[in-house]
């Protein structure tokens, strides 16, 4: 099944050039765990985050396909950054994540990720994170194929303790656009 919700433009390979050292250092600063498995953060804003994961053995399970837990790690990482921005840099805490896996990705594949807010409320936020694999050896479809989809729910009305006041500084440095205003929803 072709995923009709893919924005072909935003998933255009020409917009995803080879690894850049600036994306690498940004990822190392924003989320060292994502960096350690080879993920590269690209766009960072309160309304969308994107990134790419070249599949290597660093992120595979023994059957040589992308570790399902790595997909969840990417989802939780991007959603946490997004919710932190969208809350106006308050402290956020992930309270649940659900991921559905649709297809595998194998060594050599290039996986693209995109996180978007589904709900930005006063107390909670819900983010959607989708992963696709680019056309290539394991994708003969001629277009990006979705490999997983997550929903991440976060509490977003937590005070930031004094000793962590600067923990969000790196994110503010890279964020594009202004924090999203809160919705009228009480949840």
Active-site residue set: 76
The reply on whether position 68 binds its own copies by CB under 8 A is: yes
CA distance 95 to 92: 9
Closest to 43 in 3D by CA, of 92, 82, 72: 82
Name the token pair of 95: 């309270």
Measured in whole angstroms, how far is the alpha carbon of residue 71 from the centre of its chain?
9
Q: Residue 17 CB, nearest distance to its own copies (Å)?
A: 26
CA distance 54 to 58: 10
CA distance 56 to 37: 9
The reply on whether position 76 binds its own copies by CB under 8 A is: yes
Place of tokens 């919700």: 5
Which of 41, 70, 110, 115 touches its own copies (CB under 8 A)?
70
- Rank residues 14 and 163 by Cβ distance to its own copies and give the closer one: 163
- Helix (H) / strand (E) element for 98: namely strand 91-101
CA distance 54 to 61: 15
Q: How many residues does the chain have?
A: 187
The reply on whether position 156 binds its own copies by CB under 8 A is: no
Which of 44, 99, 105, 115 touches its own copies (CB under 8 A)?
99
The reply on whether position 158 binds its own copies by CB under 8 A is: yes
The reply on whether position 97 binds its own copies by CB under 8 A is: yes
CA distance 152 to 112: 18
* One character per residue 111-130, x = contact with its own copies (rule: CB under 8 A): ------xxxxx-xx-x----
The reply on whether position 11 binds its own copies by CB under 8 A is: no
Interface size with its own copies, residues (CB under 8 A): 68
Q: Which range of residues in 6-14, 19-27, 92-100, 105-113 is near its own copies by CB under 8 A? A: 92-100
SS3 26: helix
Residues that bind its own copies (CB under 8 A): 1, 3, 5, 30-34, 36-37, 57-64, 67-70, 72-77, 80, 91, 93-104, 117-121, 123-124, 126, 141, 146, 149, 151, 153, 155, 158, 164, 167-168, 170-171, 180, 183-187
């Amino acid at each position: 099944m072709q995923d009709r919700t893919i924005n072909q433009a935003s998933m255009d390979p020409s917009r995803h050039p080879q690894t850049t050292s600036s994306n690498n250092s940004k990822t190392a600063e924003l989320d060292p765990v994502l960096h350690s498995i080879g993920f590269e953060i690209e766009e960072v804003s309160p309304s969308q985050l994107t990134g790419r994961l070249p599949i290597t053995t660093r992120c595979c399970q023994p059957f040589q396909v992308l570790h399902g837990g790595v997909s969840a790690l990417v989802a939780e990482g991007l959603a946490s950054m997004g919710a932190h921005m969208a809350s106006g840099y308050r402290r956020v805490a992930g309270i649940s994540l659900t991921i559905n896996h649709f297809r595998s990705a194998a060594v050599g594949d290039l996986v693209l990720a995109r996180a978007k807010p589904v709900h930005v409320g006063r107390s909670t936020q819900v983010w959607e994170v989708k992963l696709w694999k680019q056309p290539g050896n394991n994708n003969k479809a001629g277009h990006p194929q979705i490999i997983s989809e997550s929903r991440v729910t976060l509490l977003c009305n937590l005070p930031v303790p004094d000793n962590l006041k600067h923990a969000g500084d790196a994110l503010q440095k890279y964020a594009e656009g202004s924090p999203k205003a809160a919705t009228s929803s009480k949840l």
